[in-house]
């Protein structure tokens, strides 16, 4: 897991940064809530957007909320990755 730098923390609100950490910590529970327990996992590099202050990527799946920090590799369920690809957030 990559540590947040002071530059990253400047851009990311405390609340959203905490949600990103909670997503990774509670991934198994979130996957169960989303109905994708046991789904394959994908490791994805989440791109930063130069000049943007939006450092958090959000994806919702069946009522479960997933938050990921840009500029880092993140593990996520394949169905969540597919949502982000379809939305054009990642390739």
Percent of the chain with pLDDT over 70: 86
Res 3: pLDDT: 52
Maximum alpha-carbon separation in the chain: 37
Q: What is the rounded average pLDDT of the residues 68-91?
A: 92
Rounded to an integer, the average pLDDT of 63-70 is 94
What element of type H or E holds 1?
A: none
Asked whether the predicted pLDDT for residue 70 surpasses 60, the reply is yes
Instruction: Give the span between the Cα atoms of 59 and 67, in whole angstroms.
Output: 7
Q: Where are the domains of the chain?
A: 6-86
Residues 52 and 23: their CA atoms lie apart, in Å, by: 22
65: left (phi over 0), alpha (psi -120 to 50) or beta: beta
Q: What is the rounded CA–CA span in Å between residue 11 and residue 14? A: 9
pLDDT grade for 37, boundaries at 50, 70 and 90: very high
Asked if residue 87 has pLDDT above 60, the reply is yes
């Amino acid at each position: 897991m990559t540590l947040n730098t002071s530059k990253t923390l400047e851009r990311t609100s405390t609340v959203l940064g905490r949600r990103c950490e909670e997503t990774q910590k509670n991934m198994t529970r979130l996957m169960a809530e989303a109905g994708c327990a046991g789904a394959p996992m994908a490791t994805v590099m989440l791109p930063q957007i130069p000049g943007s202050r939006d450092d958090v990527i959000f994806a919702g799946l069946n009522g479960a909320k997933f938050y990921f920090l840009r500029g880092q590799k993140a593990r996520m369920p394949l169905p969540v990755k597919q949502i982000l690809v379809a939305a054009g957030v990642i390739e």
